[in-house]
Amino acid sequence: MDNLIGYNQLEQLYVGESIVVYRAIREMDGRSVILKMLKEEYPDPADIARLIYEYNLLKDLTITDIVRTEGFEKQQHHYAIVLEDIPNSCTLREFLFTHKLSIEDFLQIAIQLAAALDQLHETHIIHKDINPDNILITKDGKQIKLIDLSIATQLSEEEQVAVNPEVLEGTLPYISPEQTTRMNRSIDRRTDLYSLGITFYEMLVGRLPFEANDAIEWVSYHIAKQPVPPHDIIADIPEMVSKIILKLLAKSAEDRYNTAEGVKKDLQICLTAWEKDHTIPAFTLGVQDRAGMFHIPQKLFGREKEAYQLLEVFEKINRGAREVLFVEGQSGIGKSSLINEIQKPIIRQRGYFITGKYEQYQKDLPYDGLIQAFRNLIQQILTESKQRVNYWRDQLNKAISPNGQVIINVIPEVEKLIGKQLPIVELPPTEARTRFELVFFDFVRTFSRKDHPLVLFLDDMQWADTGSFNLLTQLLQDTEVNYFFLLCTYRNKEIATTHPIFEMKTQLEKANISLRTITLKPLTQKNVMQLLNETLNTEEHIDELAKLIMEKTAGNPYFVNLFLTSLYKNHQLTYDTTQGQWVWDIASLKNLPIADNVADLVINEISRLPEATQEALKIAACIGNQFSLATLIALQTQPAETMTRLLWIALEEKWIIPVSTNYKLSLDDANIMTNSMKIVYRFSHDRVQQALYSLISEEKRKEIHFKLGYLLLAEYSGGNESLLFNVVHHFSICLNLIKKPEEKLKIAELFSKAAYKAKFSIAYDVAVSYLQAALQLLGDKAWKEHHDLVFYDTLNLANCLYLSGSFEQADMQFNALLDKAKTVLEKVKIVQNRALAYTVQSKYTEAANIVEEGLRLLGIKLPHSSSKFVVVWELIKTKWLLKGKKPSDLLKLPIMQDPEKIMIMELLENMATYSLVANPGNYYRIACVSMRAIHYSLSYGNHPGSAQCYLHYALIEFIRGNVENAYELIQVSIKLCERYNPSQLGTIYLLGMRVFPWKMSYRECLVYLNKASQLNFESGNLPYYQYAAVAIISMMMLANYPMAEIEEKLKNYLSDYQYTRNDTVVFALKVYL
């Protein structure tokens, strides 16, 4: 690379993934300095921000044991921190390669390290990456300095978000259990003490306490594996030194030292004793450790039984089970905290833990929680090794191809993994629903396997949409979904007995699906006393305080923590250094005007924040439970640096939590502004968002949602199509603010598009709400100005109403729409859709009658009776029209263009299908309708429905003994289907079996039957999939296949009963057993 101007004699010391470190001579003063530079010529903005962030931390530090910065260089595309060069120094790792430490040497270096770390912690910085490579030591061992603050944090506690172990912050062999993101714990300064303990262990023993083969093993060992005591490995190591190290390596932060100062003092005791007579008498550790730090232990109190139940169920999952666990209780009772305890055993089993949360103010987003969860899963997978990503790509493509687009429409991130997919053919409602469910089941099954169980946690299901409940209920009845654990939480006191969650439970119980419900109750006074004991490190005088807390909080864990924290912040709970204990005045506390409910207490505490921070948080509450810094900046038109400072106050107070580690990166450089797009926060609890939202007037809320709608619309219009539902969600709250006619039209079209997408994903209830919003925006006047848009929105609304089970409301819409129809074709379109509504109710006779009414509107009268005479007459007319034509000539016909004739063809196709289902024995009727359709095809061109008509005619020809002609007509049907309507190929192949055995061997017939089976299953046409199953078994018998192979095939088809639910087909299959 090019040298930085002003520096020469560069000597490369280290090369990392994004960083390169040089020793150089600074021309200005001839001094040797260290340059920490970005490696790439055009670095990523996040890497630049990280370097600036580290520089900003260092430049304000005056600690002697932290390497000092001497400036920051930005020259063209090069960025570098200039650091002091410590003469005759090396990293601790290099030092350990060349030095065998005596106990005295170890203690002297360890005391320096503890002192350095204590100094850093006193400046409110957590290092997060203590290890021998980030410690400089002079070659005489007399001086040490800590280096590399690139991932350090200035928060007193930093929440952890579960990520793939491959991309964890820090150095894997040295990270603390809580840094693994699987401990359900935030990190504080004690995380550095664990890393210090690993470093001490390595200094004394000469190796790490654990040796792992991959990232998952490292994580698992840090969480659960106990290290061998150093003195058991090397007998010369004093037991007290060994105990200090083991205390540092405690899995729970509460069992470690509180401070690095406490570590230093115990090490000094050891050094004094060792220097005296080379022995260290036993003493109590941590006596001089500061106890005045306010920390509410991050552990569950009073939940031992429930935690055991949770882990017990997970063990069943590891044995291949499919389980459901509901956790119910009031807000703040600890439902999520309990469930998050399962992360530790999941990582041990190399499983996936994915979470999704439904939101109170975003109930109109279809499958919102499910989508969040599986987005999280795909993001985890994309951060795995290239080999694993390729593995998952292959597995998913095998599982969901050729219908991958069905999943991508709901979870766009899947396309990043499996690539572009074939377009999806639109299907009738029943087939569309079946296809969506089957593809989703295949998608889930791919991830829930023995070598990687899948745990899906859906939070706040009281706010979930109906579609989510329906999909989950069907998924859990799929017997091929194993190694799968569904965890759901809901507030049982906030929902009626008619809530979909109870119907879901009923359906699962009827299907004998294993499910449990855990009801979390408030903490008892004994539990609160235990919490106080561990927080205040005393058992004395806490009974009255516990009683007061119970009176104020009713034992709600979130309220208890909030209340206790409030006392500490307001100096009503203080640490008396002279007494060496926590003190409070119980009489004063009883008289305090403290809020008696969570909402009021949250509001009171938030009101203490600066006004500007409060305003920023109120706007964030309108965005959602999660919000990006970029969105907030755009809404408030504040500089990034200003907004970051405002949110930092809320971060320190733990009202919001960063979703990723990028929150701390500097944003004061114009080149780094793009990085703000990646910075996302979430509210620490629903109660916080709700409290803030309640503080905004209704009109102000609408104004914010209005701005949000347009802000997200710009991003959506720029190509981010996944934002469509979010855009219309915000506009749905402020419809009355959309005034201009052109804007109403534009946004109404967005609602229409969102409704179509929701309908395609079988989220019919949501689609109804979107269409109602669209029609409200358009108003009655739009029937004159935008008739087509209003007509099709209303028609779509009627369709979505019947698809969601609201048949009477759908009928009302159809009737109202008939009055608004301008043309015969519009009236016929209404009739056609109304008939489809009757098929969803399995009323096929009524549906056929309605279609016949539509044909009459178009001047087509079908014979009242379908006798043999009528069929013969239609056959004569068909023969006459086909005179002189070979079957292959039918492929040369033009494509039908006339809209009226196309509608007639569609109705005739509907008529044939509905009549067949209503009365399969009345084949004369079907034959008449099919031949009438052939007449239209011959006169006006081929239509996608022509293939079915030619097939029916082929079967008539076969009955009449014209086998050759029948076979050729079937081939024409196949070619037309391939050309215009591939979704019908499975049906053609299957019905063609009446003829195929006369023209090919049984084994050749099986090729077509297997295609029919696969195609019908993929297109959701389960009745014909079932018929294909019976035909395949019969054909295998005729073809003399081995019985073992036939039995295996039979078992596979019988296992599909869960999808088909067709007892007649099952009976037919069992005949062969």
CATH of the domain at 495: 3.40.50
Q: Say yes or no to pLDDT of 223 above 50.
A: yes
Contact 361, 624 (CB under 8 A): yes
Strands 656-658 and 680-683: antiparallel
pTM of the model: 0.86
Q: Which domain covers residue 588, as residue numbers? A: 525-594
Confidence of residue 674 (pLDDT cuts 50, 70, 90): very low
As a whole number, mean pLDDT of residues 556-562 equals 93
**Contacts (Cβ under 8 Å, ≥6 apart) of 665:** 46, 49, 50, 52, 53, 672, 675, 679
93 & 141 share domain: yes
Contact 8, 27 (CB under 8 A): yes
pLDDT value at residue 161: 79
Domain end point (choices 84, 99, 124): 84
Segment (H or E) for 13: strand 7-15
Q: Say yes or no to pLDDT of 36 above 90.
A: yes
Q: Quick: pLDDT tens for 695-728.
A: 999 999 999 999 999 999 999 998 888 899 999 9
The pair phi, psi for residue 34, each rounded to 5°, is -110, 130
400 & 385 share domain: yes
Asked if residue 895 is part of any domain, the answer here is: no
Sheet with 135-138: strands ordered across: 89-91, 135-138, 144-146
Tracing tokens 């912050």 back to the chain, one arrives at 169
Confidence of residue 927 (pLDDT cuts 50, 70, 90): confident
pLDDT value at residue 1056: 62
Q: Quick: pLDDT tens for 405-454.
A: 999 999 999 999 999 998 888 888 888 888 899 899 999 999 999 989 99
68 & 14 share domain: yes
Contact 454, 354 (CB under 8 A): yes
250 & 102 share domain: yes
Lowest mean pLDDT among 188-202, 687-701, 921-935, 1046-1060: 1046-1060
CA distance 915 to 933: 15
333 & 481 share domain: yes
Asked if residue 427 is part of any domain, the answer here is: yes
As a whole number, mean pLDDT of residues 841-863 equals 91
**10 Å Cβ neighbour count for 1064?**
9
Q: Quick: pLDDT tens for 978-1030.
A: 888 888 888 898 888 999 999 999 999 999 998 988 888 888 777 788 888 88
pLDDT value at residue 924: 77
Domain end point (choices 497, 516, 535): 516
Per the model's pLDDT, the better-predicted residue between 779 and 661 turns out to be 779
DSSP string computed for 865-929: ---HHHHHHHHHHHHHHHTT--GGGGGGSPBP--HHHHHHHHHHHHHHHHHHHH-TT-HHHHHHH
509 & 570 share domain: no
How many domains, in total, are found in the chain? 5
Q: Say yes or no to pLDDT of 275 above 70.
A: yes
187 & 254 share domain: yes
pLDDT value at residue 694: 93
Asked if residue 160 is part of any domain, the answer here is: yes
Q: Say yes or no to pLDDT of 1061 above 90.
A: no
Tracing tokens 């073809």 back to the chain, one arrives at 1039
pLDDT value at residue 2: 59
Q: What is the CATH number for 255? A: 1.10.510.10
Share of the chain above pLDDT 70, in %: 96
Asked if residue 951 is part of any domain, the answer here is: no
pLDDT value at residue 676: 47
Asked if residue 64 is part of any domain, the answer here is: yes
pLDDT value at residue 710: 95
Q: What is the mean pLDDT of the chain?
A: 89
Q: Say yes or no to pLDDT of 548 above 80.
A: yes
As a whole number, mean pLDDT of residues 613-628 equals 94
Beta bridge partners of 138: 89
Question: What are the E-state strand segments in 19-130?
Answer: 19-26, 32-38, 69-75, 78-84, 89-91
Q: How far, in Å, are 529, 559, 600, 688 from residue 594 at the CA level?
A: 20, 12, 9, 17
Asked if residue 647 is part of any domain, the answer here is: no
Domain end point (choices 516, 548, 575): 516
Residue type, 84: E
Contact 483, 515 (CB under 8 A): no
Asked if residue 490 is part of any domain, the answer here is: yes
As a whole number, mean pLDDT of residues 70-88 equals 91
Q: What is the CATH number for 48? A: 3.30.200.20
Asked if residue 424 is part of any domain, the answer here is: yes
Q: Say yes or no to pLDDT of 884 above 80.
A: yes
**Contacts (Cβ under 8 Å, ≥6 apart) of 785:** none
Confidence of residue 671 (pLDDT cuts 50, 70, 90): very low
Q: Cα–Cα–Cα angle for 866, 870, 873, nearest 5°?
A: 155
Q: Quick: pLDDT tens for 641-663.
A: 888 889 999 999 999 999 888 88
130 & 155 share domain: yes
Q: Say yes or no to pLDDT of 41 above 50.
A: yes
Segment (H or E) for 576: strand 574-576
Q: Quick: pLDDT tens for 571-585.
A: 999 998 888 889 999
368 & 480 share domain: yes
135 & 35 share domain: no
pLDDT value at residue 670: 42
160 & 231 share domain: yes
158 & 52 share domain: no
